[in-house]
Structure 1
């Protein structure tokens, strides 16, 4: 009888301990964030566009994140072909867990070929994007980011970009 009571007591205490452990949130020590975006486009004249931009960040405080973002894009059509690589630091400040403001400095390496005139260009350009946006929670610690950024270094006549204003859509895990 003693063995039966001891066994039942151990099972009850183990059950109570496991319920307490499950009900108590685990302490989160991981401050790293991961995310990015992808793009795909089709158009007339056999135009095809593919883009990826991974990012890795670190939560410096509960509301301030800093990190590195990269980008690679490939575009081709009947008339031209281009490849572009970019890398640089970023910082985001989050407020009300639904909004953010940010800065992103990107240095791009561009390889462009005009298929009609057999013209090739290898250029570099730096862009400083400032802006912000809205975040929608899509999981436990995952968010969809919708925002608008402006390249404050954009010069209409000398830039390879068609505009200084860019919309951005991306995902972040770890906030």
Structure 2
């Protein structure tokens, strides 16, 4: 499985980069931005994780962007299965064309099943991520974003998430 997914991910990244670099124009008068991130993970006990988070934004000024982001993730192993959907607004402030500050509110809908104890749970949870990061230009108006966010609503014993700290990598076209 790993021999299939890693080359597929690398090929998709190469295609995305070539489309962004060829299709980008020096003057971008369109204020809409598009992007997101994708993640895949593997672990012990047949653990598999897939996550996608598309986003659409609108540049309010050259340095301020607002929009909506969604997320979907699937996790499975020998012991559990989980599906999670999230949606919410975000705002990004860009400075020095290489850095950004971000606020992102997400409302998650969570479906969890423990296979070992035959326990099922359907719940929802709110998250308010605050953070920032670095942007690397990959085309005329396209960037890769690398950052760190913290969920200020996270509580250790009452959250479905194991931690409030979230590293992220994503792409955005249209800045």
For the aligned pair, the TM-score class normalised by the smaller chain equals 0.7 to 0.9
Instruction: Tell me the number of residue pairs that the alignment of Structure 1 and Structure 2 aligns.
Output: 151
Partner-residue secondary structure (3-state), 2:97: coil
Q: TM-score, normalised by structure 2?
A: 0.84
| C-alpha spacing 1:65/1:42, structure 2 compared with 1 (3 Å) | same
Matched, 1:95 2:95: yes
- Gaps of at least 5 residues in structure 2 are 1-24
Partner of 1:55: 55
- Gaps of at least 5 residues in structure 1 are 1-24
Query: C-alpha root-mean-square deviation of aligned residues, in Å?
Result: 1.1
User: Residue deviations 1:19-43, cap 9 Å, x none?
Assistant: xxxxxx8754310000000000001
Bigger RCO of structures 1 and 2 (CA < 8 A, at least 6 apart): 2
Q: Which runs of 4+ in 1 moved over 2 A?
A: 25-29
Structure whose alpha-carbon radius of gyration is higher: 1
Partner of 1:3: none
Matched, 1:35 2:5: no
Q: TM-score, normalised by structure 1?
A: 0.84
| C-alpha spacing 1:26/1:166, structure 2 compared with 1 (3 Å) | closer
Instruction: Give the distance between the partners of 2:111 and 2:150, measured in 1 at CA.
Output: 23
> Shift in Å at residue 140 of structure 1?
1.3
| C-alpha spacing 1:61/1:35, structure 2 compared with 1 (3 Å) | same
Instruction: Give the distance between the partners of 2:173 and 2:133, measured in 1 at CA.
Output: 17
Partner of 1:21: none
Partner of 1:105: 105
| C-alpha spacing 1:26/1:134, structure 2 compared with 1 (3 Å) | closer
Question: Is the Cα contact below 8 Å between 2:144 and 2:170 reproduced in 1?
Answer: yes
